[in-house]
Amino acid sequence: MEQQTGKTISRDNTTSQSAALYDANVEKTIPRYSQFHSETLDLVGAVIPNPSLWLDTGCGTGNLAAKAAERFAGVKFILSDPSPAMLDIAREKLPGMAVEYIQSGSETLSLASPVDVVTAIMSHHYLTAEQRRQATENCFAALKPGGVYVTFETIRPCSETATAIGLQRWRQHQLASGKPAEEVEKHISRYGVELLPITIEEHLQLLRQVGFPVVEILWASGLQAGFYAVKG
């Protein structure tokens, strides 16, 4: 079943890569990207061993859903992304799976029925403060009581020195992955302009403010961090 919601332009999961090139470039661009997925699957398995309905917002080309389907038998998915091209690739990648596709960003998303799991992997750091709060509120509202929310984002360190170090590490990763120097610098220049990161503490505060009683850091390295929250 497919549904399209929200006619306004969303910046959730906006990417400098075209949908067709996304899978080939995401590991080169984001350090330890595959670890975000493994950490997410491990955490979900610890909180909800047998999830029945899973919302992945900012789903991109469906990589996380493909891995989750292998691990959690019988789980159904709602995959949301503002990019129709990303969703088209996800449809090709996930034939025969129980999936509802929604063209929407997190900040405009509303579900008819609550879910066990909500994930937002590298999709909210493109949002303004107001949009980010709305997106987080929508993710909270989408969950059943006891449901788990997992998000990974680019973050803002607490000092300019640490930010410069983080950006240099990010630059080195991309260059070592074989990306052209001009392309690397173009991506790095988006930090603070198109990428609008917040600090780890600001992430934790936001999750508490929207109503999550259980809020924790899941993972952190360089300029990326993961968080999880459980709905009461």
Count CA atoms within 13 Å of residue 159 on its CB side: 3
Nearest to 98 by CA among 79, 117, 80: 79
Tens-digit pLDDT profile for residues 16-59 = 457 888 888 899 999 999 999 999 999 999 999 999 999 999 99
Provide the whole-model pTM. Answer: 0.91
> Which residue, chain included where needed, has tokens 């937002």?
120
Write out the two tokens for 206: 């936001």
Residue 107's alpha-carbon distances to 20, 123, 227, 231, in angstroms, are 25, 11, 18, 19
- Quick one: pLDDT at residue 17? 56
CATH code linked to domain 2-155+195-230: 3.40.50.150
How far is the C-alpha of 4 from the C-alpha of 17, rounded, in Å? 23
